[in-house]
Amino acid sequence: MNCDASNPHCNPIPRIIFFIYLSLFPLVIASRNLKHSSNTQLDDDDSITYIWPLPSEFSFGNQTLTVDPNLSLAIGGNGGSSSIVKEAFERYKLIIFKHHSKLSKYGASYDIGKLNVIVHSANEELKLGMDESYSLLVAKRDDHSNIGEITIEANSVYGALRGLETLSQLCAFDYGTKTVQVYKAPWFIQDKPRFEYRGLLLDTSRHYLPIDIIKQVIESMSYAKLNVLHWHIIDEESFPLEVPTYPNLWKGAYTKWERYTVEDASEIVNFAKLRGINVMAEVDVPGHAASWGVGYPDLWPSPSCKEPLDVSKNFTFDVVSGILSDMRKIFPFELFHLGGDEVHTDCWNSTPPVKKWLQDHNMTGNDAYQYFVLRAQDIAASLNWTPVNWEETFNTFAAKLNPQTVVHNWLGSGVCPKAVAKGFRCIFSNQGVWYLDHLDVPWSTVYHADPLEGITDASEQKLVLGGEVCMWGEKADASNVQQTIWPRAAAAAERLWSNKESASSGNTTLTALQRLEYFRCLLTRRGVQAAPVTNYYARRPPTGPGSCYEQ
Amino acid sequence: MLSMRRKFGIEVVDFDARHSSNTQLDDDDSITYIWPLPSEFSFGNQTLTVDPNLSLAIGGNGGSSSIVKEAFERYKLIIFKHHSKLSKYGASYDIGKLNVIVHSANEELKLGMDESYSLLVAKRDDHSIIGEITIEANSVYGALRGLETLSQLCAFDYGTKTVQVYKAPWFIQDKPRFEYRGLLLDTSRHYLPIDIIKQVIESMSYAKLNVLHWHIIDEESFPLEVPTYPNLWKGAYTKWERYTVEDASEIVNFAKLRGINVMAEVDVPGHAASWGVGYPDLWPSPSCKEPLDVSKNFTFDVVSGILSDMRKIFPFELFHLGGDEVHTDCWNSTPPVKKWLQDHNMTGNDAYQYFVLRAQDIAASLNWTPVNWEETFNTFAAKLNPQTVVHNWLGSGVCPKAVAKGFRCIFSNQGVWYLDHLDVPWSTVYHADPLEGITDASEQKLVLGGEVCMWGEKADASNVQQTIWPRAAAAAERLWSNKESASSGNTTLTALQRLEYFRCLLTRRGVQAAPVTNYYARRPPTGPGSCYEQ
């Protein structure tokens, strides 16, 4: 749920102070349109400010303001004193003031010395539909006004985080004066996300990703205002997670070093929370689970036929229940992904005891697939989790699914329209456009995809939670995962955050490409290995020498 | 310290890493890998736990250095990355204190600085007052090397959730084989943001490399601020792809805290077209921009101004003047320059020599030892400043010739140590040797070491680390470790497993090190699998 005037449960941000500003300055009102010329980007005299993803409403002027490297934080509102805000402020100070600033020789003082952050609610619960809206005002102090220099106002701390990110993108180090400047001030931005679920999938089963690498990914997600890390922890290749109730499970890790302790996982969840990012864990049953049997071979139909998990044994569901119960203590997010994709029931039909069980219960392989998924859904629901399943479960037995199920599209287009027509919520990840391991999908294809494609009814559109780009790990490891994710994940991030009309109307090369190149270079300045934008194939090296801003 | 060995029943394995090749995935093994291999080490068969609240005790004249303290804090974050918990059974940790003894308070970072150290890891013992872990070094930089080795001895044990040192007691005495162990970064073909450069420097310290050769400027772009000639960095790609003086100083300081020298390069006269963006007079003509105009005094004023400004940033005694790939066509085809050559009775090659030597004089006047690419030696060796360090790159056999004439030499044979050559696998990097073809001991001493070169035509912020690692580590062991100990016998046995382990160690520390076993560098893994086997 997004906060807008029509929603009585939301507390809209007071806008009165900004109207004062609008009357004092000759502002260029440029909501829904970026007035950039395409050939000024290399001009030393330009002062263009790029923002990615594009805010929903913004206006700017023609002043250049300097920002004091000793910028102080002033807090207000019930939630202003949150440590989440304070820690974020410190992180963003390091980003904004990365280069050594020095005061002008001419004795001038800085235009902006203080950041006001007002957070109305002290509720720090990170959840689906949390209020991420914010307003941001950057303006010079003025004799006729007692308005603070920079003000971020938000209903929740997570809205304040989004505002800080936008602020950091407005601040540029000017190499001429060696000061941090905000061009085109005064800025007034009112912003909120288009979708409440803006995800990225990481796969730590095909390749183990060390916790430092996962943290790097999370940190970079926050720069693009993504808000869900879908952690596909376990798959058939390896089982890296510690499960205290079944301590042999992580014997299915590749090696004794390629593991996550409970404490590691909790640390990742906490690291993500501090950046306003939910972690949705996945346990992909019953089809992607061969690695479980390394520690507990009884989970295999037989040692020669290891998948799907043995549907005939109660032990199998005891283990599923044990895993989920242990994981519930780590992952507070209300959504939990139960997988359910690519279930080939051959092993069940070819293994005599399982086959007999099917016959005894008068089940086909598909019946048993349904039985397994629904039983797993019950376990998740009993733990107060909302189940998410890959679309095959919906495609095969929609009517039987828990009605709260979130359908996760991947196979192709047209699935979310069907799911929402039946009242299910849906996450869009059409593999043809949003699978990042598909290296032949260029940024523009990612950018033009839309989760609402084929859905026109407003009440059905509301059931589309958002979308997710998926970084499957067969050929992505610690060495190249970031350059495979970026910059394309940013293209999806803008689709998920920004109004479609404002961000991508007209010539996309004009409205988006330049900003995306700028954002890619911003990522590299923050130490993220974002690949060149203009290569057709993803994560290819630059074709030759040149500026980051043109490759 | 050597007498320590008798106190423990420890196996002495100098010059040999006795690893079995098929135990690496065994859950019960407790093998410790170290990269690069120390020159002398011995170990036992105890497993010791390390307290996550490990304390630092310092000793010696240099022990109180902030360089040591900051490094200790960095390494604590590395060693105790995972949450440790005390065993349920109430046992205490075996090791609670790290003693660092640094004999000299001299913190000058320079060529030939003493990087030796000894490291003892042993349980306190009733019959002994020896501290639990002791690093002893003559300089703070030796202590840093010892801390790195210690961090590689410490492993997080996922079973007990404690940091453990396997095969204790350990006694290591270590020192580098070569004093110059370099990596070249090229920030002209692609600008590398300072965060990326810091990531590279940090990772260099893990492999005990000690010189960042910063090829800052080339014909494509001029990113560095030069206060004396403030238009020079107009030659940057964009107004954002620049280094201020303060940025460069910060990089030098960041490197110093990790025991790494920064050798800057200004590659004259052949790789300098970008200079003329700000000062077009430096071009022979707007249509013929390289080499720098040899005929104008202004050219040398600018060289002198650049070097004078850079001298304030770069304290390292070596400064690289380039001098490679000088094609003098522009000089001969531009009438005023051609006339100048004729007036001075010079050929193009004469003028090339004239330029290089004049630049050497400027560097020497600033108390810098000049380094030049090998073409200068190949073309006019007898005229070079006798202090010149010859930097090999074109092929093999150059260092032997250079040291035979009394010059010092740095080995970077492009066939084996150019990291932009993606078709050079780790083993080729590993088997190269800077002393190849040099047998005389006094001549061998003139080989300062070697350097792997990460030219930036196709390497930018997105892929520079995965192009550097793991191959730079192969060179790093060649430069640090005794050749006999590290690579005798079957290299797959003695080196490959350790290198795979080191690659995974890099990834655990957040470094984008590419798979080891791919033939071509920086290729993605070929399929799912363990880091330790790819």
**pTM of the full predicted structure?**
0.93
Task: Please calculate the CA angle A461-A467-A472 and round it to the nearest 5 degrees.
Answer: 155
- Active-site annotation holder among A342, A474, A517, A550: A342
ipTM passes above 0.90: yes
Each residue's pLDDT tens digit in chain A (551 positions)?
333 434 434 443 444 344 344 434 434 444 333 333 333 334 444 556 689 999 999 999 999 999 999 999 999 999 989 999 999 999 999 999 999 877 654 556 888 989 999 999 999 999 999 999 999 999 987 665 544 479 999 999 999 999 999 999 999 999 999 999 999 999 999 999 999 999 999 999 999 999 999 999 999 999 999 999 999 999 999 999 999 999 999 999 999 999 999 999 999 999 999 999 999 999 999 999 999 999 999 999 999 999 999 999 999 999 999 999 999 999 999 999 999 999 999 999 999 999 999 999 999 999 999 999 999 999 999 999 999 999 999 999 999 999 999 999 999 999 999 999 999 999 999 999 999 999 999 999 999 999 999 999 999 999 999 999 999 999 999 999 999 999 999 999 999 999 987 666 667 666 799 999 999 999 999 999 999 999 999 999 999 999 999 99
Distance CA(A346)–CA(A49), nearest Å, equals 57
Residue of A nearest to B195 (CA): A527
CA distance B524 to chain A (A): 6
> What does the pLDDT look like over B108-123, one tens digit per residue?
999 999 999 999 999 8
Helix (H, G, I), strand (E, B) or coil at A180: strand
Residues of A in contact with B24 (CB under 8 A): 255
Answer whether residue B12 shows pLDDT above 80.
no
Subunit contact B158:A237, Cβ cutoff 8 A: no
CA separation for the pair B380, A390 (Å, rounded) = 71
Can you tell me whether residue B16 is helix, strand or coil? coil
In sequence order, what E strands does B30-150 have?
A: 40-43, 46-59, 95-102, 117-121, 133-137
Whether B417 shows a pLDDT value over 80: the answer reads yes
The count of CB pairs under 8 A between chains A and B is 204
Q: What pLDDT does residue A509 have?
A: 65
The pLDDT value recorded for residue B83 is: 84
pLDDT of residue A37: 33
Average pLDDT of chain B to the nearest whole number: 91
Specify whether A342 is catalytic.
Answer: yes
Q: Which residues of B touch A548 (CB under 8 A)?
A: 190-191, 237-238, 241, 460-461
pLDDT at A384: 98
* Region B356-367 average pLDDT: 98
pLDDT computed for residue B93 by the predictor: 87
pLDDT of residue B242 exceeding 70, the answer is: yes
> Which of A43, A256, A437 should be substituted to probe chain B, the one whose Cβ sees the most B Cβ atoms within 10 Å?
A256
Q: From chain B, pick out residues whose CB is under 8 angstroms from the CB of A474.
A: 527-528
Supply the pLDDT for residue B24. 37
Residue B509 confidence (pLDDT) above 50: yes
| CB contact (8 A) between residue A543 and residue B458 | yes
Is the pLDDT confidence value at B428 over 90? Answer: yes
Nearest to A477 among B161, B221, B525 (CB): B525
Backbone angles phi, psi at A279, to 5 degrees: -115, 115
Least confident of B11-25, B276-290, B371-385: B11-25
- Return the residue matching tokens 């490409």: A513
pLDDT of residue B85: 72
Q: How far is A44 from chain B (nearest CA, A)?
A: 6
**Contacting residues of A for B507, CB less than 8 Å apart:** 210, 213, 477-479
For residue B132, name the pLDDT band (cuts at 50, 70, 90): confident
DSSP B216-260: ---SS---B--TTSTTGGGGSSSTTS-B-HHHHHHHHHHHHTTT-
Measured between alpha carbons, how far is residue B329 from residues B326, B349, B354 in Å? 9, 10, 16
Q: Do A475 and B191 touch (CB under 8 A)?
A: no
Mean pLDDT value of segment B86-108: 83
Residue that is written with structure tokens 């170990």 in the block: B43
Q: What pLDDT shows up at residue B86?
A: 60
**Are A178 and B457 inside 8 Å of each other by CB?**
no
Structure confidence at residue A489 (pLDDT)? 98
Q: Which of B24, B27, B158, B518 to mutate to test the interface with A (most CBs of A within 10 A)?
A: B158
Task: Report the C-alpha gap between B408 and B414 in whole angstroms.
Answer: 19
Closest-CA distance, B518 to chain A, in angstroms, reads 13
Q: A261 to chain B: which residues are within 8 Å by CB?
A: 82-83, 158, 161
With 80 as the cut, is the pLDDT of residue B323 above it?
A: yes
Average pLDDT value for residue range B80-102: 80
Tokens matching residue A399: 């009517």
- Rounded to a whole number of angstroms, the distance from the CA of B262 to the nearest CA of chain A is 19
pLDDT at residue B25 in the model: 40
Average pLDDT over residues B436-441: 96
Angle at which helices A157-170 and A83-96 cross, to 10°: 10
Nearest CA to CA, how far is B189 from chain A (Å)?
A: 5
DSSP A260: B
What span, in angstroms and rounded, lies between the C-alpha atoms of A521 and A527?
10
Which three-class secondary structure state does DSSP give residue A507?
Answer: coil
Structural tokens at position B55: 């304390």
pLDDT of residue A109: 80
